[in-house]
Amino acid sequence: MTDIFKSDFFKPKYFKRHVRDLFIILLGSTLVALAVKYILDPAGLDTGGVSGLAIVIKSLSARYLPFTIPLWVSNLVINIPIFLFALKVDGIKSIIRTAIGFSFMTIELAVLPEFSLISDNLLLTSLYGGVLFGLGTGIILLARATTGGTDMLGNSLSHIIRHIPVGVLIQILDGAIVLVGIFAFSIENTLYAFISVYVMGKVIDKVVDSGKKAKIALIISKECDAIANDILVEMDRGVTSIGGTGEYSGKPRKIICCVCSKKDVPQIKDIVKDHDRKAFFIVGNVSEAMGEGFVEHWS
């Protein structure tokens, strides 16, 4: 027991980070629970995952059984064997954060009062549900967690079914659950559910990549010093010079590297054009930029 308290977890800088992540997971789980309970479930939109399967089970139980199986019960019962399987395959460390997210969401599905936020327009409802669910999921992913379900199952299965990528496995599982929704709802609802799934994916990408994307400019020119000076002075952007060799001529060439925002690219182009119209200018995408001038902290 004493070894636990001597671990890095309880060191101030790590402990603060873990507490911060707990609040992030709680916020994200709350948004996902709100989306499921107040939008997707009342509208009959099965968007895949364990939450989508729980929506289907609730609808079918209300139709064919003398009682209705609540969302939180299905979420709990289905996730338990998935967690046990993941525990055996991946180990305890890989599922702790996800267990926290799953627990938060299950409790919230159980205690939140019953009412509906859906509109009469199913298209708008699918969009609202997708945005809220995607926002919550993206926030949870920022804390390196999930709410369990098919994401965890797909990741664990990838260790056994090695010839299929984990992303494809998750898509297969989610797609199958969405199609099951046809038996509980209508084909129309299923088609709108696919719209929600698409919106979720877009919102998740926006949240996870928010503030981290950038552009990288590579410039090869005889006027590299003048170009670099203008970028530094006029734009207050950092510039790095890299030594290179032109393989055709065999002569040494200087290469300027500048990571910048998308809106900075036109000004850099103008600076290069002013100094050397024969310069070789490359602009590429940067999926994540960390450090001064961009995201100034490491999570």
Residue 281 pLDDT? 92
Taking CA 265 as the corner, what is the angle to CA 264 and CA 271, rounded to the nearest 5 degrees?
Answer: 95
Region of poorest pLDDT, from 33-37, 61-65, 146-150: 146-150
Q: Where are the domains of the chain?
A: 2-209, 214-286
pLDDT band at 217 (very low <50, low <70, confident <90, very high): very high
Model pTM score: 0.75
Residue 144 pLDDT? 78
Residue 14 pLDDT? 64
Give yes or no for residue 213 having a pLDDT over 80.
no
Q: Could you give the CA distance from residue 121 to residue 144 in angstroms, rounded to a whole number? A: 35
* Residue 152 exposure: Cα atoms within 13 Å on the Cβ side: 30
pLDDT band at 59 (very low <50, low <70, confident <90, very high): very high
| pLDDT tens profile 177-204 | 988 888 889 899 999 999 998 898 888 8
Give yes or no for residue 4 having a pLDDT over 50.
no
Range among 71-80, 160-169, 171-180 with highest mean pLDDT value: 71-80
| pLDDT tens profile 63-116 | 999 999 999 999 999 999 988 888 888 778 768 888 888 899 999 999 998 887
The residue type at 222: K
Residue 166 pLDDT? 64
Could you confirm whether domain 214-286 is CATH 3.30.70.120? yes
CA max distance for the chain: 84
Give yes or no for residue 164 having a pLDDT over 80.
no
Q: How far is CA 160 from CA 85, 126, 130, 153, 156, in A?
A: 12, 35, 31, 11, 7
Region of poorest pLDDT, from 23-37, 47-61, 253-267: 253-267
Residue 250 pLDDT? 84
Mean pLDDT score, 134-160:
82
295 closest CA partner among 239, 214, 231, 235: 214
> Which residues have CB under 8 Å from 141's CB, separation 6+?
28, 204, 207, 208
Mean pLDDT score, 148-161:
79
pLDDT band at 41 (very low <50, low <70, confident <90, very high): very high
